[in-house]
Amino acid sequence: MNTDTLTQNETLDTKIQTGKFLTTLLDSGIANERIVLKKNDKIELTATNNTPYIFVIVSGVTSIFSKINVAIDFAGEGDLLDYNVYSSQLFGKALTDEVIVWRFSQIDVFNQIAQNAELQLQHYHMLQIIQRRLEKKQMQATLDTKNMIAAFIHTLAVRYNTQTNDQGMIELPRYFSRKMIANYAGVGLTTLTTHLQQLMEDGRVIFNNRVLLIDAENGI
């Protein structure tokens, strides 16, 4: 089983675990709010009184930014936005045209977890997924710039698009703009374009003004 298949299976398992987690929380009767966000709407991870929230994403994709507007991660259907992991110094922003989330008070969730061993395991599983994702990004960031950019694009393409075309290429969803990719990689737009052109010469990506596809095998 290759790493892409493992990633896709892990994503599916996480969605299943998150579905059970969300159902249990909604059935518990604790306070909650279903929120529909439009593209670029901000998601504050804490209330105005600094009370931390936990969000469960039902549909759509969000970016996670630092307070200085640096993209550090992305979260989609079946993912958790948890104050514990991201800290109060971060915020979310809707990346797709619509994002639907359920919001809970962290303390209410923790009280339920304390009473339910299965809920505790589900929460732990989701936190581990987030942690592994952040660790993977840190490892990819040690590559040279060209290969780092390729690794980031490949990881996002595999995570958010399970379809490979007949040329063995995966399209990065178009809500990941060049500006967003450059921000996530910590490079300027000019640097990103230069390395994309080099990757295209290597036969590892195909790109134009509208689409960006990367070799399913990545070639690193």
Question: What length does the chain have?
Answer: 220
| pTM of the model as a whole | 0.85
Alpha carbon distance 214, 21 (integer Å): 34
Q: Mind listing the pLDDT tens digit for each residue in 170-185? A: 999 999 999 999 999 9
Q: Mind listing the pLDDT tens digit for each residue in 3-43? A: 444 444 455 566 777 888 999 999 999 999 999 999 999 99
All residues at 6 or more sequence positions from 67 whose CB lies less than 8 Å from its CB, including other chains: 89, 90, 91
